[in-house]
């Protein structure tokens, strides 16, 4: 058997040495609340590069201070952020891994000082602050924030950008009919609910020549919300706009009971890959190399995103190679122990 998990794959100008992706995970480690990279970030991400992860995604990184999930989030709203991010990129590149950044705005789920914003003035939970409905001017400013963030991502040397359209954060708040009750050009129909994402993608592309992924929540887990079938149109429109891969997650739009099991979101990656003919990433409780291999061999997804398993084992690719009978090259300093 040749293991597909260790076959290279190319997206535009980026070739990954394997299909193993570190899923974005907030570290809440900007203790100075300034959004800047700390030694924790450099240690944490570089360790996974030493562990031979092909593509490492930096956590949700806020394009504006009000878009932070917490005050300790990483940020990319200021040119001062570029230096720290560039040093992180250089460390990961030194280990021959690729590195991406997830550009994010939390919308009504932001836990920050000052006002919070959403598509419509509906709080996530009854006991939470009521967000302000974004004016069209504020929407345009947010699109511009993403554009500037894309420019800074380029200046920092990242290989790929992922736009965070999932987990009930700002973009998801516009995409889902559960929250978007607008009657202007940003709501009312599916096409209009997509407009903010369309504008963000176009803005990002004006500053960015490399691959772009979008993370979505393919299921709202609510009868009045969206399920994966509703996301087929969105996936087709993203493909038309030149998006390279859809990273298929779910939930987070409204409080809901989810019953997760190994690979519970793979069906979304498979469905959108088949129906929209676009590359997809599978994520969610994938922990075993054989399971990852099954997903790839059966063409259910193109990349495997791992989150918590890579917290437990930063050297997971080494274990996977061993289980799948593949030889991978360790950093030369580790040759005697590999």
Ligand X SMILES: Cc1cc2nc3c(=O)[nH]c(=O)nc-3n(C[C@H](O)[C@H](O)[C@H](O)COP(=O)(O)O)c2cc1C
Q: Does 24 bind ligand X (CB under 6 A)?
A: yes
Region 261-290 residues binding ligand X, contact defined as CB under 6 A: 283-286
* Burial of residue 32, with CB atoms counted within 10 A of its CB: 0-12 exposed, 13-18 middle, 19 or more buried: exposed
Q: Among 24-32, 37-45, 189-197, 273-281, which window interacts with ligand X (CB under 6 A)?
A: 24-32
The answer to whether residues 289 and 310 touch, using CB atoms and an 8 Å cutoff, is: no
Among 14, 26, 86, 326, binds ligand X (CB under 6 A): 26
Which two structure tokens, joined as six digits, stand for 133? 């409905």
- Minimum CB–partner distance for residue 263 and ligand X (Å): 9
Strands 303-306 and 160-165: unpaired
Among 71, 90, 111, 307, binds ligand X (CB under 6 A): 307
Among 21, 49, 55, 60, binds ligand X (CB under 6 A): 60
Region 85-104 residues binding ligand X, contact defined as CB under 6 A: 102
Q: How far apart are CA 30 and CA 153, in angstroms?
A: 18
- Identity of the residue, 166 or 196, whose beta carbon is nearer to ligand X in the bound complex: 166
Beta strands in 63-211 (DSSP E): 74-75, 98-104, 117-118, 132-133, 160-165
Among 50, 161, 235, 306, binds ligand X (CB under 6 A): 306
Q: Does 249 bind ligand X (CB under 6 A)?
A: yes
Q: How far apart are CA 29 and CA 39, in angstroms?
A: 9
Among 53, 143, 166, 321, binds ligand X (CB under 6 A): 166
- Give the Å distances, CA to CA, from 276 to 60, 210, 234, 244, 273: 26, 21, 9, 12, 6
Among 81, 109, 147, 215, binds ligand X (CB under 6 A): 215
Helix (H, G, I), strand (E, B) or coil at 192: helix
Contact positions vs ligand X (CB under 6 A): 23-26, 59-60, 102, 164, 166-167, 215, 249, 283-286, 306-309
């Amino acid at each position: 058997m040749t293991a597909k998990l260790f076959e290279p794959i190319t997206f535009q100008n980026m070739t990954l040495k394997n299909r193993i992706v570190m899923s974005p995970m907030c570290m809440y480690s900007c203790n100075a609340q300034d959004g800047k990279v700390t030694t924790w970030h450099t240690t944490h991400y570089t360790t996974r590069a030493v562990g031979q992860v092909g593509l490492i995604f930096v956590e949700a990184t806020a394009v504006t201070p009000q878009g932070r999930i917490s005050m300790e989030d990483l940020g990319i709203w200021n040119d001062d952020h570029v230096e720290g991010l560039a040093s992180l990129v250089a460390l990961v590149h030194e280990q021959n891994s690729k590195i991406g950044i997830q550009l994010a705005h939390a919308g009504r789920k932001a836990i920050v000082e000052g006002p919070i914003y959403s598509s419509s003035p509906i709080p996530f939970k009854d006991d939470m602050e009521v967000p302000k409905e974004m004016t069209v001017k504020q929407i345009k400013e947010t699109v511009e924030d993403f554009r500037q963030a894309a420019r800074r991502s380029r200046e920092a040397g990242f290989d790929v950008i992922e736009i965070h359209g999932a987990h009930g954060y700002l973009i998801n708040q516009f995409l889902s009919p559960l929250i978007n009750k607008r009657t202007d050009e940003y709501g009312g129909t599916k096409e209009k609910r997509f407009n903010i994402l369309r504008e963000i993608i176009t803005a990002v592309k004006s500053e960015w020549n490399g691959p772009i992924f979008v993370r979505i929540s393919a299921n709202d887990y609510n009868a009045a919300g969206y399920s994966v079938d509703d996301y087929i149109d969105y996936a087709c429109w993203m493909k038309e706009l030149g998006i390279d891969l859809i990273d298929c997650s779910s939930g987070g739009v409204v409080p809901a009971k989810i019953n997760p099991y190994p690979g519970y979101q793979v069906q979304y990656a498979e469905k959108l890959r088949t129906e929209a003919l676009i590359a997809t990433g599978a994520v969610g409780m994938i922990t075993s190399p054989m399971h990852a291999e099954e997903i790839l061999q059966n063409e259910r997804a193109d990349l495997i995103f791992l989150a918590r398993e890579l917290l437990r084992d930063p050297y997971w690719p080494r274990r996977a190679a061993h289980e799948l009978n593949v030889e991978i090259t360790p950093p030369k300093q580790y040759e005697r122990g590999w």
